[in-house]
A and B are shown apart, each in its own frame.
Chain A
C-alpha cells in the first residue's frame, strides 16, 4: 500500500469486524521529535492473549474464507522499517488499541495520502451505528472530527451515508487537516 491512510482503512476494517461501535483514529505529528504516531482504538470484542501473540503473523486470521491475514504484519513491517514501533493491546470484551510510531522524515515512510477518502469510505461502508472519532494534530494544531456530533445535528432521519452528507464530511475533513498542516506558529 502506498499511503498510510490506506493502512488506516484496512486496520479499521478489523475493528468493524470485531463489532466495534466506536473507533478512534488519532494521528499526531511532532516535527520537533521527528515522530509520527497513529493510534487506532476500538471498543470491539478484543482478543485473548493467545491470539494477541500470533496476530502479526501473516498466517493468522479470524476469517474462515482464507488462511492469511496481511494487514497487521504489513503495517508492523512499515513501522520497523522506518525506525518506529508497533504495539497492540487488547482485552477480551473491552476492545483493542493499536499504536504505530514512525520516524516522520524517514524516506521509506509512505505519505499520509487521502485521509478524508478513508474516513468517507468507512462511513459509507458501515454507517449503521458505528461512530468514528478522528483527531489529527501537527505540533500544537489539532483538528477533531466526531461522527456523534454529526449524527446529533442531523437527527435520526438523515443517515451519515446520505451522499450529500458524505460529500460534506469529505470536504470538512480535508479543510480541517489542511488548516492543521498550514497554520503553524
Chain B
C-alpha cells in the first residue's frame, strides 16, 4: 500500500534531479487537451509521455498541455518544442507511438516524420 510517508523518500531521492530540471532550458512536449483531444484519446497519450520521460530519467524535458488549436480532426495532437529547433507537430498520436517519438525525436533529435502533420493527408 502506498502511504503519504513514501513521499518523504521520493522527496529526498528526487531533490537533486529537480534542481537539474530547473536549471536546464529543455524540450517541451505539449499535448492538446481540449474536448476534441480528450475524446480522441489525449489522456493516455499524455500519461504515456509522462511515464516515458520518467522511465528514461530525462532531466530537461517537460510535459504540458494546451487547448484546442482548431484542427480537431487531427487529434490527439502533440507538439514538440526543442530549444533552437522548429516546432514539430504530431497528429493522431497513440500511446504506442510515444516511446519512438521520445527515443528518436526528444532524445536523438530526429523527428519521426511518418507521424507528423506533413504526412497526415
Number of chain A residues close to chain B: CB under 8 A:
41
Q: Which residues of B contact A (CB under 8 A)?
A: 1-2, 4, 6-8, 10-11, 13-15, 17-19, 31, 33-35, 38-39, 43-44, 46-47, 50-51, 53-54, 62-65, 67-70
Question: Are B67 and A63 in touch, CB under 8 angstroms?
Answer: yes
Q: List 24 A-B contacts (CB under 8 A).
A: A6-B43, A9-B43, A13-B33, A13-B34, A13-B35, A63-B67, A114-B44, A117-B43, A120-B50, A121-B33, A121-B43, A121-B47, A125-B65, A153-B7, A154-B11, A155-B11, A157-B19, A158-B14, A162-B14, A163-B53, A165-B10, A166-B54, A168-B7, A175-B2
Number of A-B residue pairs, CB cutoff 8 Å, is 107
Question: Are B43 and A165 in touch, CB under 8 angstroms?
Answer: no
Stretch at the interface among A29-37, A65-73, A78-86, A97-105: A65-73
Q: In the complex, which residues of chain A have a beta carbon less than 8 angstroms from the beta carbon of B10?
A: 154, 158, 162, 164-165, 168
CB of A89 within 8 A of chain B? no
Q: In the complex, which residues of chain A have a beta carbon less than 8 angstroms from the beta carbon of B35?
A: 10, 13, 69-71, 74
CB of A77 within 8 A of chain B? no
Q: In the complex, which residues of chain B have a beta carbon less than 8 angstroms from the beta carbon of A6?
A: 38-39, 43
Question: Are B44 and A117 in touch, CB under 8 angstroms?
Answer: yes
Instruction: State how many angstroms separate the Cβ of A136 from the closest Cβ of chain B.
Output: 15
A63 to B46, alpha carbons, bound, how many Å?
Answer: 23
Sorted nearest first, the 3 A-B pairs with minimum C-beta distance are: A163-B54, A125-B65, A172-B2
A9 to B76, alpha carbons, bound, how many Å?
Answer: 15
CB of A126 within 8 A of chain B? yes
Question: Are A65 and B2 in touch, CB under 8 angstroms?
Answer: no
Q: In the complex, which residues of chain B have a beta carbon less than 8 angstroms from the beta carbon of A57?
A: none
A161 to B35, alpha carbons, bound, how many Å?
Answer: 22
Most buried by A among B4, B35, B39: B35
Pick the residue among B8, B13, B54, B68 that contacts A153 (CB under 8 A).
B8
Majority secondary structure, A binding face: helix
Instruction: State how many angstroms separate the Cβ of B90 from the closest Cβ of chain A.
Output: 17
Q: In the complex, which residues of chain B have a beta carbon less than 8 angstroms from the beta carbon of A167?
A: 50-51, 54
Instruction: State how many angstroms separate the Cβ of A127 from the closest Cβ of chain B.
Output: 10
Question: Are A1 and B2 in touch, CB under 8 angstroms?
Answer: no
Q: In the complex, which residues of chain B have a beta carbon less than 8 angstroms from the beta carbon of A10?
A: 34-35, 38-39
A70 to B75, alpha carbons, bound, how many Å?
Answer: 15
- Known contacts A124-B65, A162-B18: does B43 contact A168 (CB below 8 Å)? no
